[in-house]
Structure 1
Amino acid sequence: MVSFGKKLKERQIQEWQGYYINYKLMKKRVKQYAQQIEHGTLDRRHVLKDFSRMLDNQIEKIVLFLLEQQGVLASRIAQLGEQHEAIQQEPHMSKISELREAYGAVGQELLKLLFFVEVNAVGLRKILKKFDKRFGYKFTDYYVKTRANHPYSQLQQVFKHVGFGAVVGALSRNLHELQEDQQSQGSFLSIYDQPTLPLQDPVIDSIREAVDRLTNSTNFLNFLGKHALIMQEELPAPADEHVDERYHFISLSLNLANTFLYMVNTYIIVPTADDYSMNLGAAPTVCGIVIGAMAVAQVFSSVYFSAWSNVSYFRPLVFSSIVLFLGNAMYAMAYDIHSIWILLIGRLLCGFGSARAVNRRYISDCVPLKIRMQASAGFVSASALGMACGPALAGLLQTDFKIYNVTFNEDTLPGWVMAIAWLIYLVWLWITFKEPSRDIENNNTPQPSNADSGALEKGIKQPLLKSSEDKEDEDADSEESPEDSRQPANSIGSAYRLLTPSVKVQLLIYFMLKYAMEILLSESSVITTYYFNWTTSTVSVFLACLGLTVLPVNVIVGSYVSNMFEDRQILLASEIMVFVGILFSFNAFIPYSEPQYICSGLLMFVSAEVLEGVNLSLLSRVMSSRLSRGTYNGGLLSTEAGTLARVISDATITLAGYGGVSNLLNFTQLPSFFICVISILATCYTYNSLY
């Protein structure tokens, strides 16, 4: 495996090598600090001040070169502007073509400069992570707080918008005008009237993508794709890098269809689970166990499906379809057998058929980088649509008849419908799926991915060197270590040891939002029936409407909000909004009303959806590179955290039911309240490390 330092050097532009961050030197300095501290020849204060000074010098070198190159490009654009003015006086087709080529050449130079900045930004993040892992994460917190938030911040010049927008605008405007002149259209409209004008020079699209990555700007597809926690290339690829297109579109579609059907399968029973439980002689709050049984099994199935996907994608998908067919058939037959145990076993089988780990790994390993973000967005969209279609479909299955003593009603039809759907899917899968070869997977494996004096003094009080056990873990993740020590984590335990405080906080937030959402969805039928006498159809419409908000909310946040605020700012604001939604959902002081329930549920659900996107985006940025691939990857850890949250929340509903339905709402929202408060405090504690 190639070390990060070597990959960083490979991506450097040869003639600019002297202006890049000296990652190798800084990595060596970190090692020297450790040795000096062990021998007692250096104290923590000196280390922090010396490394800060070293970082400042490196960043200043980068920024001054950046400003110099921007000046060169600005001069070239100004000279081309004079030629453009002359051509407008006396239009000539050959001169227009030559000028377009000249502007395109400037665009290529600007693209090189953007890649220069992006490579340096990645290098800075990596060296900060390395220092934090060796000596304690408080350094990044101090450095970012003092440098990034300063009015004369040079760190912001590297990580945020560095004035490229004006240059991109000048290139776009002039290229568009030359295009209009060349086509003799004579339009008075400019790019400022129509920001998405067609027929732009391809270099402009490449520049915009690079600027978006550099400034953390994003669009709907990118923001939506972050929900999948499928890793993208960390180091920027050159614009002309070959992209491997060897993937099977039908196989990708089958993975997305599996995701969609599984989410439909999960939520199609929510509106009727309480009624089904009562018909089998159980309490309505047993619906928590019925719904949660699927999540319990998924905790275990995610691991073996993730491991299975190391050798095959086709066989686990076939196994998943068969198990889901059997599970849904058992769920439906439990009504006529009159057995709550058959019902629960059927739901457990459905959980054991969860192949979401396979779906995610297929996109991560087999889809080329060029369209991986779109495929990730498709994965999330399929999940969101399945979540909305499940309850909506349950609302349509309002009938009651028998065929040969087999009952078909609103309780059993969800099981029969899903059993037939999985049978059809199995046939489609068997006929059309194409198992990718291992060399294609290896070629497309994602690269490893990536916080005042008072803060400094607080950091000085922390122990500088970790225990010998922690140091061994660091050495195992170090780039100087043997090749096998840089391999993906091979167990849950080794994966857990790679979790920094920032990663743990992000997983806690993910647990919190999944817990709050599951409480809201799973108890909706019981709560609305008790307080408002809602019918199954009404509950189905409410849940479907919640699911349908996912895509519009992501359009707004991905296209606008995320371009105006940092991810960590949106993260904290979303947590606070989830907290407000939970607080507003309690039944206290005033009679509980439908508007209160609907508004609090909508606020909680929408805020949690926004929170999920930025949470997983930050999680992919702060986690160890060893968690970006292999069986025990970041996607599996987040899936396990979310699934565990669902299990605990569904169990909470059943346990709270022993206190009576009248107390169910408050008893179940109380844990959500406390977990949300803890996650907000933890976010504030690690806020500056989320950079």
Structure 2
Amino acid sequence: MVAFGKKLKQLQVQEWEGYYINYKLMKKKVKQYVRQIEISEENREYVLKDFSRILDKQIEKTVLFLLEQQGQLASRLSNLGEQHDALVQQADVVKLHDLQEPYRNVGRDLLKLLFFVEMNAIGLRKILKKFDKRFGYKFTNYYVKTRANHPYSQLRQVFKHVGISAVVGTLSRNLADLQDHQESFVSIYDQPALSLPDPIIASIKAAVDRLTNSTDFLQYLGKHALILEDELPTPSDDDVDERYHFMSLLLNLANTFLYMVNTYIIVPTADSYSLSLGAAATVCGVVIGSMAVAQIFSSVYFSAWSNKSYMKPLIFSSIVLFVGNTLYALAYDLNSIYILLIGRLFCGLGSARAVNRRYISDCVPLKMRMKASAGFVSASALGMACGPALASLLQIEFKIFKITFNEDTLPGWVMALAWLVYLLWLWVSFREPPPPDEKVDSMQHETTMGLENGVLENGATQPLLSSSVEKQQDEDEDQEFDISEEASDESRKPVTSIVSAYKLLTPSVKVQLFIYFMLKYAMEVLLAESSVVTAYYFLWSTSNVAIFLACLGLTVLPVNVIVGSYLSNILEERQVLLASEVMVFVGILLSFQLIIPYSVPQYVCSALLTFVAAEVLEGVNLSLLSRVMSSRLSRGTYNGGLLSTEAGTLARVVADGTITLTGYWGMSKLLNVTLLPSLLICICSIIATCFTYNSLY
């Protein structure tokens, strides 16, 4: 076990040793405060004030050094700019070209400074977390709220670093000008795509994005997959390249797409199929939800199975889904609602999304992982839209050898054929990756141990500790303190049980998982009862319902483009989170059927608002969850992706069960009664978000 402080010491650059937040000093202060509180409870107020004062001093020291270094970089850029202008007037192309390296040197020093800020931010988060854990206070909430929102905030410099963009802009413009200086008058401000960014600028941009949580569309979309990345590049990254196979990745994405099509293709016809088998229309809730019930269990065993193999669970998944869809289709001629439900249970048992996610996390190179994660989410979104759209095309009826093919059974037959074709493609094209080297893997965990929320590149990393020489006794005390405080929950070793995973869930993580449960519950109620509600109030046909659901599904990617490229860069994610929760609340509220007759515009507008707001909420929710969740949940069977999947699947099960139970009270009450739990859960999630709001900084 390498303690957090000791690990950072190994990365230290000596010339900056006096300007880092003194993590060791802060830990010792926390230890002293514990003793003071044990002596007398009256010392609590003094402890809070004294700790705040010391922390303010530490941050001030770091920020002033940061501003000093930033001023030196600006001065160097100014001098280079004067040389640049003089050489342009002299038309000396050779010497102009020689200026590229001095500019890059400024860029390298800027990158070094950014990593300095990043490591201080990590240490600050950790010491606040340590204080809260030891005292049971919500000190982080108080400290961030009072410091970050103050007009003279120095804390904002550490977490947001608002002044760096101008330096980056100057570097980018000058390097682009030098790169394109062949009678070219094109500016990066006019046509930024025409100039390839210098590699050092790309590294700086990545570092700034991490500090400010800036995203583009692919990064934002990729976060939906909750595939948590390692904090440090490791020796095993090259081995991951050997495990990667493009066609195998494509097969995993195809599996994701087909499964989502399989999930939603029956939604428009589930009520009519239930009626044709002698059940109530609201039994559609059980028909749709039975797949989710089985998925609760399949997610766990598929995640465990993927520790040993990827191809075998995918083959098993395809066979089970083929059988399940065949049973679903045959239930019509067998006139058995039980065969129908068994078929859907089989479909749920074939859910291999855990395998798809694990393949991306374990076998796709780090440089491609974000794109692969975005592909995973896009495949899910497209499958969600294509399912109902495909159902709208299957409005035909005929018989072959006494087997009925109609709008109810064709979804089953079509998906059975699709899984059969997929199985053959899988058998021919999938390449099982070699097992990871356990020795290298242990080196990776040793290298990355103890770091949270920091992504460092190319070894240009700066620690946050001052490294003044201290007595061996202090070292021993520090080591002992680190082990007692951090060994149990901040090792890089993956958790081995659901109980261990649950112990790592902080209040912030629990709230984010609850929000995920809420949004999935609201979306499932909206989608699963759409065919029943629209048939009762508006007499919509299956085609109308299918087109409506397909249109809802098609909003997913455009909404994520807007949020990922614009909103998440203008507003803080926690602001978007709270605002989208409120919009979900408004959408649910507008969906109720009260005094006035229920109309199509009211239903469509409220459903669209609820669905879009829930989609926005899902993106920022999973993005925040990936930041506040322990790094131990990034890999292994019981990973963060599995926990979020289980929360969402449980929400779908509860929602579908609610629809079926409410159906026995009469169709006139179905809408309002099913919406009421959604409304209450949404209110609870908003309240919970407010309580943990400042811990999401």
Instruction: State the TM-score, normalized to the length of structure 2.
Output: 0.91
Moved more, 587-596 or 359-368: 359-368
Question: What is aligned with 2:333?
Answer: 336
Q: Which amino acid aligns with 2:201?
A: I
Matched, 1:22 2:22: yes
Query: Structure 1's 476 and 281: CA in aligned 2 closer, same or farther, altered over 3 A?
Result: farther
Distance 2:607 2:341 in 1: 28
Question: What is aligned with 1:129?
Answer: 129
Distance 1:583 1:526 in 2: 19
Moved more, 274-283 or 627-636: 627-636
- C-alpha distance after superposition, 1:7-58 (max 9, x if no partner): 4344544533432233333334334433443455983223322322232222
Q: Equivalent residues in 2 for 1:88-167 (5 A)?
A: 88-136=88-136, 138-167=138-167
Q: Equivalent residues in 2 for 1:226-237 (5 A)?
A: 226-234=223-231
SS in 2 for 1:438: coil
Once the 2 structures are TM-superposed, how far is the Cα of residue 628 of structure 1 from its aligned partner?
A: 2.7
Once the 2 structures are TM-superposed, how far is the Cα of residue 130 of structure 1 from its aligned partner?
A: 2.3
Q: Which amino acid aligns with 1:638?
A: S
SS in 1 for 2:596: coil
Q: Which amino acid aligns with 1:609?
A: E
Matched, 1:527 2:523: no
SS in 2 for 1:196: helix
Contact conserved, 1:325 with 1:423, CA < 8 A, in 2? yes
Once the 2 structures are TM-superposed, how far is the Cα of residue 639 of structure 1 from its aligned partner?
A: 0.8
Distance 2:70 2:496 in 1: 46
Distance 1:576 1:79 in 2: 51
Match of 2:309 among 312, 315, 327: 312
Match of 2:423 among 405, 426, 445: 426
User: Which runs of 5 or more structure 1 residues have no equivalent in the other structure?
Assistant: 451-473
Matched, 1:168 2:164: no
Contact conserved, 2:491 with 2:632, CA < 8 A, in 1? no
Query: Structure 1's 659 and 211: CA in aligned 2 closer, same or farther, altered over 3 A?
Result: same
Distance 2:404 2:23 in 1: 69
Distance 1:219 1:299 in 2: 32
Q: Which amino acid aligns with 2:567?
A: V
Question: What is aligned with 1:297?
Answer: 294
Q: Which amino acid aligns with 2:629?
A: M
Contact conserved, 2:217 with 2:560, CA < 8 A, in 1? yes
Query: CA RMSD of the aligned region, Å?
Result: 2.3
Question: What is aligned with 1:630?
Answer: 636
Question: What is aligned with 1:460?
Answer: none
Distance 1:481 1:202 in 2: 38
Match of 2:241 among 230, 240, 245: 245
Query: Structure 1's 573 and 320: CA in aligned 2 closer, same or farther, altered over 3 A?
Result: same
Matched, 1:323 2:329: no
Question: What is aligned with 2:563?
Answer: 557
Distance 2:5 2:183 in 1: 51
Once the 2 structures are TM-superposed, how far is the Cα of residue 114 of structure 1 from its aligned partner?
A: 1.2
Question: What is aligned with 1:214?
Answer: 211
SS in 1 for 2:253: helix
User: Which runs of 5 or more structure 2 residues have no equivalent in the other structure?
Assistant: 454-479
Once the 2 structures are TM-superposed, how far is the Cα of residue 65 of structure 1 from its aligned partner?
A: 1.3
Distance 1:437 1:24 in 2: 42
Contact conserved, 1:449 with 1:628, CA < 8 A, in 2? no
Distance 1:154 1:37 in 2: 29
Match of 2:200 among 203, 223, 228: 203
Query: Structure 1's 160 and 294: CA in aligned 2 closer, same or farther, altered over 3 A?
Result: same
Distance 2:337 2:488 in 1: 54
SS in 2 for 1:407: strand
Once the 2 structures are TM-superposed, how far is the Cα of residue 293 of structure 1 from its aligned partner?
A: 0.1
Query: Structure 1's 307 and 70: CA in aligned 2 closer, same or farther, altered over 3 A?
Result: same
Moved more, 296-305 or 480-489: 480-489
SS in 1 for 2:593: coil
Q: Equivalent residues in 2 for 1:198-597 (5 A)?
A: 198-234=195-231, 245-246=241-242, 247-439=244-436, 443=441, 449-450=452-453, 481=487, 487-597=493-603
Moved more, 500-509 or 3-12: 3-12
Distance 1:126 1:579 in 2: 34
Query: Structure 1's 362 and 7: CA in aligned 2 closer, same or farther, altered over 3 A?
Result: farther
Once the 2 structures are TM-superposed, how far is the Cα of residue 561 of structure 1 from its aligned partner?
A: 0.5
SS in 2 for 1:439: coil
- C-alpha distance after superposition, 1:301-338 (max 9, x if no partner): 11111121222222211111111111111111111111
Match of 1:664 among 646, 667, 670: 670
Contact conserved, 1:227 with 1:616, CA < 8 A, in 2? yes
Question: What is aligned with 1:77?
Answer: 77
Matched, 1:647 2:653: yes
Q: Which amino acid aligns with 2:668?
A: S
Query: Structure 1's 49 and 629: CA in aligned 2 closer, same or farther, altered over 3 A?
Result: farther
Query: Structure 1's 242 and 277: CA in aligned 2 closer, same or farther, altered over 3 A?
Result: closer
Contact conserved, 2:176 with 2:195, CA < 8 A, in 1? no
Once the 2 structures are TM-superposed, how far is the Cα of residue 268 of structure 1 from its aligned partner?
A: 0.6
Instruction: State the TM-score, normalized to the length of structure 1.
Output: 0.91
Query: Structure 1's 398 and 191: CA in aligned 2 closer, same or farther, altered over 3 A?
Result: same
Distance 2:3 2:543 in 1: 57
SS in 2 for 1:630: coil
Contact conserved, 1:148 with 1:156, CA < 8 A, in 2? yes
**Percent sequence identity over matched residues?**
74
Match of 2:616 among 603, 610, 614: 610
Query: Structure 1's 75 and 95: CA in aligned 2 closer, same or farther, altered over 3 A?
Result: same
- C-alpha distance after superposition, 1:444-486 (max 9, x if no partner): 8887655xxxxxxxxxxxxxxxxxxxxxxx9999565379976
Question: What is aligned with 2:686?
Answer: 680
Distance 2:114 2:121 in 1: 11
Figure out how many residues of one structure are paired with residues of the other and give that number.
662
Structure showing greater relative contact order (alpha-carbon pairs closer than 8 Å, 6 or more residues apart) = 2
- C-alpha distance after superposition, 1:408-447 (max 9, x if no partner): 1111111111111111111222222222223269658887
Contact conserved, 2:495 with 2:501, CA < 8 A, in 1? yes
Once the 2 structures are TM-superposed, how far is the Cα of residue 527 of structure 1 from its aligned partner?
A: 0.8
Distance 2:315 2:2 in 1: 36
Q: Which amino acid aligns with 2:321?
A: L
Distance 2:607 2:531 in 1: 13
SS in 2 for 1:245: helix
Contact conserved, 1:477 with 1:485, CA < 8 A, in 2? no
Distance 1:276 1:12 in 2: 67
Moved more, 241-250 or 141-150: 241-250
Question: What is aligned with 1:466?
Answer: none
Moved more, 310-319 or 220-229: 310-319
Q: Which amino acid aligns with 2:89?
A: Q
SS in 2 for 1:350: helix
Distance 1:193 1:486 in 2: 46
Q: Which amino acid aligns with 1:332?
A: A
- C-alpha distance after superposition, 1:69-112 (max 9, x if no partner): 11111111000011011011111221111012221221121111
Match of 2:626 among 601, 620, 623: 620
Contact conserved, 2:88 with 2:96, CA < 8 A, in 1? no
SS in 2 for 1:402: strand
Distance 2:216 2:437 in 1: 29
Query: Structure 1's 389 and 52: CA in aligned 2 closer, same or farther, altered over 3 A?
Result: same
Query: Structure 1's 527 and 213: CA in aligned 2 closer, same or farther, altered over 3 A?
Result: same
Distance 2:319 2:607 in 1: 36
SS in 1 for 2:622: helix
Distance 1:244 1:395 in 2: 43
